[in-house]
Amino acid sequence: MTLATLSDVLQPALKHGYAVGGLVTLGWEDMRAYVAAAEAENAPVILQAGPSCREHTPLPVLGKMFRHLAENASVPVVAHLDHGYTFEDCKIALESGFTSLMFDGSRKPLQQNIDETAEIAEMAHAAGISCEGEIGFVGYSGGEGSNGTDPDEAAKFAKESGVDAMAISVGNVHLQENKEGGLDEARISAIDALTEIPLVIHGGSGVPVEQRKKLARESSICKFNIGTELRMAFGAAMREAVNKDPNRFDRVTILKETLDPVEAAARTVIRAFGAPPQS
């Protein structure tokens, strides 16, 4: 059994200078491809259930799917709630077998965010699992703008919330389809200088791969959330599978053809983070 908590995979990454992929899932087809990719690369992986995934599939079902994959994998697999917006979201995830809870209070005033995150971190730790929080707001491509993380606020948040990992806003944007952006390395260094916990980048698809590699090696960024570029690989594979035979209607036959392309895309993502072979 290789079910792991977030701390189980991020603390070694922090110590040895690499990162772990938080791969955003939407269903069985992509999550099994991600675990296959992690096994092929002999690296840990974090399976993430975000809001859109939870709208489609209930948390108790997702928990069983994640745990089934983890318990049959040869590498560490984390069952992670991404962007839990309420205490109830996080409580249901915990009860559904998740091993990591990300509470997103980033739209709230600093002290409220700290207090609510601390309550969820306490609940998670009492159950033997991990908690991620967010300070500063990571915006959305074509939508809400970002509010960059203040290093002093990050230091206060890290100290008082009790989280095991801290998501920061340093030029990253959710749902970005290209890699023309880049992260603010000066701001990351300033946060690094004031904190000691693993840092997390949401919206990692928009970060150039060379910068991902560099920051994984040289900073406390230990987790990059990658969703959009993997969804694009899935969409392209499914479109090809559908279009090559307009008379096909069996979705299992069609969806099977997404496995290899998504696994290949996930292997490329995971390899860039530089994790050493798992023993």
List the catalytic residues.
82
d(CA 11, CA 197): 9
Number of residues assigned to the chain: 279
Please state the φ and ψ torsions of residue 6, each to the nearest 5 degrees: -60, -40
d(CA 138, CA 50): 15
Please state the φ and ψ torsions of residue 94, each to the nearest 5 degrees: -60, -45
Tell me how crowded residue 204 is: count the other CB atoms within 10 A of its CB. Answer: 29
148: helix, coil or strand?
coil
152-189 residues labelled b (16+ CB within 10 A) or e (exposed) = ebbbbbbeebbbbbbbbbbbbbbebeebebebbbebbe
222: helix, coil or strand?
strand
Q: Are 163 and 125 in contact (CB under 8 A)?
A: no
35-70 residues labelled b (16+ CB within 10 A) or e (exposed) = bbbbbebebbbbbbbbeebbeeeebeebbebbbbbb
